[in-house]
Amino acid sequence: MKQIFLLLTIILLLPFVQQAQNVQKKKPLSFSDYDQWETLERQAISNDGNWVAFEVTPYKGDGKLHVFYQKKEKWQIFERGRSAKISPNSDYVAFTIKAQKDSIRKLKVKKAKKDKFPKDSLGIWVFKSKKTYKFAGLKSFSLPIENSSWLAFIIDSKDKKKKKASKNTPKIPELVIFNPVTEKEHRFKNVTEFSFSRNGNLLGFIQTEKDSITRSKVNIFDTNSETLINIFESEGIAKKVIMDNLGKKCAFLYTKKSKKYSLNTWEIGTFKSKAVVIDANSLEMPKDWALSKNGKIWFSRDDSKIYFGTAPKPTPRKKDTLLKEEKVDVDVWSWKDPYIQPRQKVLLRKELMRSYLSVYHFSSNKVVRLADELIQDTKTIMNGDSYFALGIANKPYLIETTWNYPYYKDVYIVNVNSGKKKLVLTKQQDFVGLSPFGNYIFWYDNVKRGWYALDHRKNKKTALTKDIPVNFYDEEHDQPHLPFSYKYAGWTKDDKYFLVYDQFDIWKVDPEGVEKPVCVTNGYGRKQNIQFRHIQLNKEDKYIDLQKPLFLSAFNKENKKSGYYQANVKTKANPKLLIYEDYYFYKPLKAKNADKLLWQKSSVKEYPNLWYGNIDLKKADKITWLNSQQKKFIWPTNELIKWKTFNGRNAEGLLYKPENYDPNKKYPVIVYFYDLWSDNLNRYIAPKPSRAQINPTFYSSNGYIVFIPNVRYEIGHPGKSAVDYVVSGTQALIDKGIADKDRIGIQGQSWSGYQLSYIITQTNMYAAAAASSPVSNMISAYGGIYWKTGISRMVLYEKSQSRLGASLWENPELYIENSPIFHLNKVETPLLIMHNDGDRSVTWNQGIELFMGLRRLQKPVWMLNYNGEPHYLKAKSPDNIDLSIRMMQFFNHYLKGKQQPKWMKSGIPLIKKGKNLGYELVE
């Protein structure tokens, strides 16, 4: 019996022994391993649901386009294929073939001119015939949205008119109209732009020939009859050709010499374009206004209207003979400016190109202005078919954007037929929308903390959520402004019902206030701690169809499980479970004309590969297996941990451990944090070089435990709040025997870089700290500019992320209390700073103040400035690897006792910059 028992024990333990041996064979990730990881990008599914296309992109090098046929599980792979589009008839795939990166690099090394670089090509693969077509010199390509097998593209072509053509002969743009199924093809020279009708029946294009004069032709190609109609030809410039949806109309802009554009239209059955619809001399055009060449032109979905932009005529510049150095070059700042000068500079190009929406009605030959200099932003609905639009005016409140958030706006209802504008809301801070059929304006009132609807024709206002016994505002909000809503799902047909979210469930409410609200998810979300959200599977649906089950995403706020459910509005049953697992599920992609889905799911150990199946998810197939090399490396496990903060609050965070973790050992720990992170429990983190922060996967693989605590804030005391959550969480790890109290580091970027800098002035718990782009002095930062957007940083400190809740003059003590610069004399933790001189989010003066203060106090401090780099290092820059190496060397020295690298020991003098990186370890 003892022998039998021993044998059974060995059999039961054998898998665990083998697993342990497999882990022991694995190696830690190294800096050279980054290049092995691939990324799944830009998925597409055919309208019939049978074909799937996606890109697989390596960290460095050329990617591949994969095309998958689900019925026979067959693959086709195209080297360097990108931006795939499957034809609306599901009969072929078209894609860009990128030039080889290695070839471009070699030419860059030779300092060749850009016109010598290899050009992209167009690739086409026909599903039935398996034929592949390739066209070199691609500039652009396009497919119709519906019901066509034609596509069109522009390529660089040699001018055959020139008899002595050579390699240096300039190439001209050539339009190719091609049907890959029938192999029919038509070509036209000197084409500058083109546009399909939505149904693909017509293709409009412009030919421009430049000699001593510029001459333009506008042509229409009928894809059914394969005939060409020239609808316009004249000296001058034609541009922005646009086709309608049904393939019956065309519109374009035209100017002869003055650059004052007119809008011309053409309708099928005529040979030439109609008379000018509108130009600068039209009665409807205000004085000194004209059509804008910068405005988008588009037809309403029913083709009864065409929308276009107008703008004040630009003031011509006066010619002078002054040299640049003889002219005054000054910015004049005024306290009455609506926007401060830096903001004006950021918006300058946008303002120069600003256009104001107008509409032309074909039935009445009438032009209506929908936007003006007060109501600059006008939003149409139902693809422009509706009689109403929403007008937004924020001009009266622009000065306040310097310190106030959320920003105020006035809201108007705009009649698309008459242009009349009616003011319906003032000083609105939260969301405002117009229901799909135009019957109601609806909004969230952040003061009254509820949703409202206004029947603007009856002037009847309804409080939509007042009788529902749950909150519709963000209950976890911790910034010094009124909380936002949980948003909404949408409207049903004819604006009959409005579907809105609370923290967990979905409610159906009557905008007239007659019917009682109904919880679509039957309160199941709140009972199970699951957050349900509606997924609109068809992107073109403008309303929610209650005759069909609602497709829902599900996320458990407690254990972080997720998946998909269905809810039937007709019944009062709980939502029907489709799939619900310990994974993170991404937003799915549905075939337009079939109940087929693509989706991804991930865990800390499983890459978000692609799955394919029916909409009920009863049959699901995994169709990609990326990054199988992962099995060679030590990988992290992770877990959700909870503790009490020093102030007695409930807290949670994530703990990443090496998969060969030994509970009898104490490991070096690195703490990283940024607001709330724990919902990412099942997110896969690929090993990538650092752009500013540590990579948990990489550090865990190299023998570290990575701890990421959530941080919640008390208004006015962000620094103390960070201490309460981060330090108490770290102490919890020490108390549990997980962390070696003498080998704990801390790292943060931007907002967490600031908090880290504050934390090390309050405790000596951390043996090393690395801060990227931190704020060190809230007083000097408060008066600064967020150069990326040109806005004042005041709003950030008073109302937003920094959470002080008061101006500098209202409560200067808060700014001193929360600024690390005033407490640097208490710092005992060695600090590595990265702050770049190209940072337009947090000026690098903040990093300099921190560095100079610690240097003056003779505390160990280093600062990395990657010249010209922004707030985060640019993706795939060599600087990413450099930062990764230096940060790892820094932590290895202080947390693992490894030797210092030369750059830490003795620095790198400027005279040796670029000659010596200083990675070598020294005694």
CA distance 830 to 760: 9
- Residue 276's pLDDT is 62
CA distance 482 to 37: 43
Residues 172-186 have a mean pLDDT of 96
What tokens does 142 get? 């396009």
CA distance 707 to 684: 16
Per-residue pLDDT tens digits for 834-888:
999 999 999 999 999 999 999 999 999 999 999 999 999 998 889 999 999 999 9
Report the sign of the C-alpha dihedral through residues 645, 649, 650, 651, in that order. negative
Contact partners, residue 536, CB within 8 Å, separation at least 6:
490, 544
Contact partners, residue 656, CB within 8 Å, separation at least 6:
604, 636, 637, 638, 696, 697, 699, 700, 705, 706, 707, 708
Q: Is the pLDDT of residue 286 over 90?
A: no
Q: Is the pLDDT of residue 426 over 70?
A: yes
Per-residue pLDDT tens digits for 821-837:
999 999 999 999 999 99
- Residue 12's pLDDT is 59
Average pLDDT, the chain: 93
Q: Is the pLDDT of residue 18 over 60?
A: no
Q: Are 655 and 641 in contact (CB under 8 A)?
A: yes
Contact partners, residue 621, CB within 8 Å, separation at least 6:
70, 73, 611, 612, 613
CA distance 738 to 915: 42
Q: How far is CA 269 from CA 231, 242, 244, 249, 303, in A?
A: 11, 17, 15, 10, 16
Q: Is the pLDDT of residue 782 over 90?
A: yes
Nearest to 429 by CA among 451, 399, 411, 407: 407
Q: How far is CA 105 from CA 57, 336, 467, in A?
A: 18, 51, 65
Per-residue pLDDT tens digits for 25-55:
899 999 999 999 999 999 999 999 999 999 9
CA distance 30 to 665: 23
The better pLDDT of the pair 705, 916 is held by 705
Q: Is the pLDDT of residue 893 over 60?
A: yes
User: Confidence band (pLDDT; 50, 70, 90) for 321?
Assistant: confident
Per-residue pLDDT tens digits for 647-667:
999 999 999 999 999 999 989
Strands (E), 464-567: 488-491, 498-501, 506-509, 518-519, 530-534, 550-556, 562-567
Residues 608-629 have a mean pLDDT of 94
User: Confidence band (pLDDT; 50, 70, 90) for 318?
Assistant: confident
β-sheet with 450-455: strand ranges across: 432-434, 440-445, 450-455, 460-463
- Residue 832's pLDDT is 98
Q: Whole-model pTM above 0.85?
A: yes
CA distance 748 to 36: 27
What tokens does 740 get? 């070696």
Q: Is the pLDDT of residue 166 over 60?
A: no
Per-residue pLDDT tens digits for 86-144:
999 999 999 999 998 888 888 888 888 887 888 999 999 999 999 999 999 999 999 99
Q: What is the signed CA dihedral for 655, 660, 662, 665, rounded to 10 degrees?
A: -80
Largest CA distance in the chain: 109
User: Confidence band (pLDDT; 50, 70, 90) for 160?
Assistant: low
Contact partners, residue 136, CB within 8 Å, separation at least 6:
119, 121, 155, 156
CA distance 604 to 627: 13
Phi/psi of residue 444, each to 5°? -105, 125
Percentage with pLDDT > 90 across the chain: 84
Residues 210-239 have a mean pLDDT of 92
- Residue 912's pLDDT is 92
Nearest to 640 by CA among 711, 559, 712: 559
Phi/psi of residue 75, each to 5°? -120, 150
The better pLDDT of the pair 739, 260 is held by 739
- Residue 829's pLDDT is 98
First to last CA, the chain: 61
CA distance 883 to 34: 14
Percentage with pLDDT > 70 across the chain: 95
What tokens does 853 get? 């203060």
User: Confidence band (pLDDT; 50, 70, 90) for 305?
Assistant: very high
Per-residue pLDDT tens digits for 455-483:
999 999 999 999 999 999 999 999 999 99
Least confident residue range of 406-410, 692-696, 913-917: 913-917
